[in-house]
Amino acid sequence: MPLKPSMLTTHPRKPQPREVRSLSCPNCGAPIQVSRRAMSYRCGKCSMPMKLEDVTVDQLNNTRTLNTMGHIHLTAHSKVDGELRCGELTVSGSYHGNAHVHGKVHMQSHSHCSGEINARSLTIDDGASFEGQLRIGPKARIEAPQLEPPEFHDPMIDPAA
Ligand SMILES: [Zn+2]
């Protein structure tokens, strides 16, 4: 089929639709492309199920540990000290700690990060600051989030039974 001129039109100024999350499986490392609207996903390679719950932190002086395969957003008013293990991370506020991100990290303008960031990819905007250690890329070792185990009740091993 010949190419029509309409197929060759490019729109360089049009923002990229961010419809897809690019992650890696926390269990087997396989690359995952999943719709931003999906709430859960099962790895096509190792079948590990994962929830994609998004978390927004907009408070001051939070000390916390967060685990999710979804996206964590630390808003401009947030000041978080803790360990984050997640699918994607956007920092607009202040973060100190150890982050393990199975997809993209975005440090926005005026954000402050320190500590250790392990991620598949990283964007640092003009005006953002970072002090610490970075391990970025497809081979970076990224710890899996500690997610709730699936419901499982076996009276033989359940100490409550
Ligand atoms: Zn997997």
pLDDT digits (tens, 9 = 90+) for 40-54: 999 999 999 998 999
- Residue at 9 is within a domain: no
- Residue at 106 is within a domain: yes
Instruction: Count other Cβ atoms within 10 Å, centred on residue 55.
Output: 16
- Residue at 38 is within a domain: no
Can you point out the beta strands (E) in the chain? 20-24, 31-35, 40-42, 49-51, 55-57, 62-63, 66-67, 71-74, 79-86, 88-91, 94-107, 112-124, 129-136
Give the chain's domain count.
1
- Residue at 102 is within a domain: yes
- Residue at 101 is within a domain: yes
**Could you list the residue range(s) of the whole structural domain that residue 98 is in?**
52-136
Total H helices, total E strands in the chain: 0, 13
**65 CA distance to ligand 1 centroid (A)?**
23
**69 CA distance to ligand 1 centroid (A)?**
13
Give per-residue pLDDT as tens, 108-159: 999 999 999 999 999 999 999 999 999 999 999 999 998 775 555 555 554 5
**27 CA distance to ligand 1 centroid (A)?**
5
The answer to whether 88 and 68 have CB atoms below 8 angstroms apart is no
**145 CA distance to ligand 1 centroid (A)?**
13
Whole-angstrom CA distances from 149 to 37, 137, 152 are 23, 28, 8
- Residue at 34 is within a domain: no
**148 CA distance to ligand 1 centroid (A)?**
17
- Residue at 127 is within a domain: yes
